[in-house]
Amino acid sequence: MATVHVVLPNDIDDPAEPSGGNGYDRRLCRGLAAAGWTVREHAVPGDWPRPDRAARAGLASVLAALPDGSPVLLDGLVASCVPEVLAPHARRLRLVVVVHLPLEHDAEAAALAAAGAVVTTSEWTRRRLRDRYALPADRVHVARPGVDPAPPAPGSPAGGNLLCVAALAPHKGHDVLVEALAAVADLPWTCVCVGPLTRDPGFVAALRRRVTGHGLADRVRLVGPRTGAALHAAYAAADLLVLASRRETYGMVVTEALARGVPVLATAAGGLPEALGRAPDGAAPGLLVPPDDPAALAGALRRWLGEPDLRRALRRAARGRRRTLDDWAVPATVAGAVLAGTAAA
């Protein structure tokens, strides 16, 4: 196999700022290495996707130093906002951009046009990019995230251990979640919210006030980021994963929950229905509601908490879906094929 140069945000391994995109990039690098590629990582400093002049210059320097004809895999947060940095190298290097979350602006259109190929993490994202930018179908490829196998979570009889795993930021919809929880405060539950608290401090402060105002301070816990054993323990203790996202390209936390047989209540935003999928018998391993609709989310929570038959059915479907999930070798194989094809071209 050839050498692939991977251009990553500088916070790729920051335990205080875990993200699905960073986790995907890290696993993709490992998977490519396991498949025989020589992986050279280049973590570029900067506030991506809002780079200043120094960050742009740093990226330009990295690309300029790479040998002609090199396959280069770039994280979309870095690549999609700097077409003027990519364009001078579009013919000299074999550029492949991994798009986790479309930025949807003119700069991204120009950046993706300069790339030899694009890898997305869901079919929903592929359609979105092709519709918005008229990209040729054969240049946009889907490499859905894999998931690590995990033991099934035992679950509690009443199903009241709710878990939300997402950075606390407006697009993740924690404000909607709190309003829905307030509407079912007459039922027994607790909700642990795992995720970085630093992305939008103003939003987090307003969320804390909202939680306190509804009298839920002893039932809704904002515990900050969790990784490794602590994150595994959070999933193992959960009865239901709840995700109130306003937008989402895939939702790796959905398949992480399903890998443990934990059902999911999520919005039907973006690629979340794709991540939820179905069990082999066609049963849904969770419930989907419209985004930005606290009443609908509250109604689904009330059903989950109040209907034992529904809990049993969803848990059975989640354990069935658990057996169908791909491991991380699958997206690495897809990305490797894209890189090899781009280099050959």
- What single string gives the DSSP state of each residue in 85-113? HHGGGTTTSEEEEEESS---SHHHHHHHH
- Judge whether 3-146+326-344 and 161-322 match in fold: yes
pLDDT tops 90 at residue 18: no
The residues near 174 (Cβ < 8 Å, ≥ 6 apart) are: 164, 166, 168, 193, 203, 207, 244
Q: Is the pLDDT of residue 320 over 80?
A: yes
At the second CATH level, the architecture of 161-322 is 3-Layer(aba) Sandwich (3.40)
3-state secondary structure 24-77: HHHHHHHHHHHCCCEEEEEEECCCCCCCCHHHHHHHHHHHHCCCCCCEEEEEHH
Look up the CATH number of domain 3-146+326-344.
3.40.50.2000
Which of 21, 28, 12, 195 has the alpha carbon at shortest distance from 101? 21
Q: How far apart are CA 102 and CA 76, in angstroms?
A: 8
- Does the pLDDT value for residue 343 go beyond 80? no
Q: How many CB atoms lie within 10 A of CB 308?
A: 11
Q: How confident is the model at residue 1 (pLDDT cuts 50, 70, 90)?
A: low
Task: Report which residue type is found at 340.
Answer: A
Instruction: Quote the pLDDT of residue 344.
Output: 61
**What sign results for the dihedral spanned by CA atoms 220, 223, 226, 232?**
negative
Q: What is the mean pLDDT of the chain?
A: 95
What is the reported pLDDT for 161? Answer: 98
**Per-residue confidence (pLDDT) for residue 83, from 0 to 100:** 96
Across 103-118, average pLDDT? 94
Single-letter amino acid code for the residue at 312:
R
Q: Report pLDDT digits (tens) over 131-167.
A: 999 999 999 999 999 999 999 999 999 999 999 999 9
The model's pTM: 0.94
Which pLDDT does position 124 carry in this prediction?
96
Confidence of residue 19 (pLDDT cuts 50, 70, 90): confident
- Asked whether the predicted pLDDT for residue 13 surpasses 70, the reply is yes
Q: Which residue ranges make up each domain of the chain? A: 3-146+326-344, 161-322
